[in-house]
Structure 1
Amino acid sequence: MIKDPYCYIYKDLKAEPGQSWEASIYAKLTETPGEGKASAQLKMTFMDMNGNKLHTHESARLNSIKSEYEALRIKAKAPKNTTHVRITPVVSLRGENGVVAAYYDDARLSSGESLFESGFESGAVD
């Protein structure tokens, strides 16, 4: 049995220590079994040159089905030794059997200099 299954994809951009970053995405859950243990969320992670995670910031979690997309946003400053920033939309199901699905749209990651919008074609899925 898999405990707390989740699925995500990500996109990385080059970053420097001290840069201010803003990440946003629109999300909505389409199935949420049980007592609100399914969720959709956005994460922004700063990494060093070896791919080590230095710090991860998380948006609020969506735990209920709604007809409209909801904005998930994060603002953070890159810590010392940062070389990359990663945004990761995550859908998860905690401690229950069932199906969970989420739609994501209009992803953005900006430092004022670097900008990523929308597609994850060159990202990775795990």
Structure 2
Amino acid sequence: MQKLGDFRVPNFFNYPPYFTLQPIRETREKQVQLWKELILDYCRSQKVFIIGLEEEFPLFSNPAIQRSLSHESREVFLSALVAEGRAEWIDKNHRKCLVLWLRIQDWADHVINFVKENELEDVL
């Protein structure tokens, strides 16, 4: 299995068609889902918070198979994360994206649970 630093990429990362947006709806939906999971897993494990569409990002190319994602593909995959609440566009031109490892509500739940577990309610 191929690695990017200490991150192991899934098998599909070495399959050239996954670097091209697929025309068949069912195939594209599966492709988008795989890329969303890959982006989130990578960002979480490497502590990456921001992805720029026009900047170098390790997942957006695979030199071993000489493939790179197009700008359109990058935007489709990141927009899918935004639609799910797993990312937010930082700028109005949609060139930089803040990746949320957890949805905002999930973060809020973690904070509330931490406060309750540590009996910090009504401390102030």
> Relative contact order (C-alpha < 8 Å, sep 6+): which is higher?
1
TM-score (norm 1): 0.27
Could you tell me the TM-score, scaled by structure 2's length?
A: 0.28
Q: Higher strand fraction: Structure 1 or Structure 2?
A: 1
Tell me which protein shows more helix as a share of its residues: 2
> Whose radius of gyration is greater, 1 or 2?
2
